[in-house]
Amino acid sequence: MPVHRARRLTEAGTARGTAVSPIGTLILEASDAGLRRILLPNAASPSGVAPVGADSTEALRSADRQLGEYFAGSRRHFDLELAPVGTPFQRSVWFALADIPYAGTISYAELAARVGRPSAFRAVGQANGANPLPIVLPCHRVIASGGGLGGYSGGLDVKRQLLDLERSVFAGRAPARLAV
Domain definitions of the chain by residue range: 11-72, 88-170
Q: How many CB atoms lie within 10 A of CB 54?
A: 9
Tell me which of 127, 139, 142, 169 is the catalytic residue.
139
Query: In a structure prediction context, what are the per-residue pLDDT tens digits for the chain, which is 180 residues long?
Result: 433 323 334 445 789 999 999 999 999 999 999 999 999 998 777 777 888 888 889 999 999 999 999 999 999 999 999 999 999 999 999 999 999 999 999 999 999 999 999 999 999 999 999 999 999 999 999 999 888 898 898 899 999 999 999 999 988 876 656 555
pLDDT at 9: 40
- The architecture that CATH gives domain 88-170 is Orthogonal Bundle (1.10)
Contact 63, 30 (CB under 8 A): yes
- The question of whether 139 is a catalytic residue gets the answer yes
Distance, C-alpha 12 to centroid of its chain: 23
d(C-alpha 116, C-alpha 47), whole Å: 41
Nearest CA to 128 out of 102, 148, 154, 101 is that of 154
Which DSSP helix (H) or strand (E) runs through 111?
helix 108-114
Q: What is the pLDDT of residues 66-97, one digit of tens each?
A: 999 999 999 999 999 999 999 999 999 999 99
CATH 3.30.160 fits 11-72, yes or no: yes
Contact 18, 52 (CB under 8 A): yes
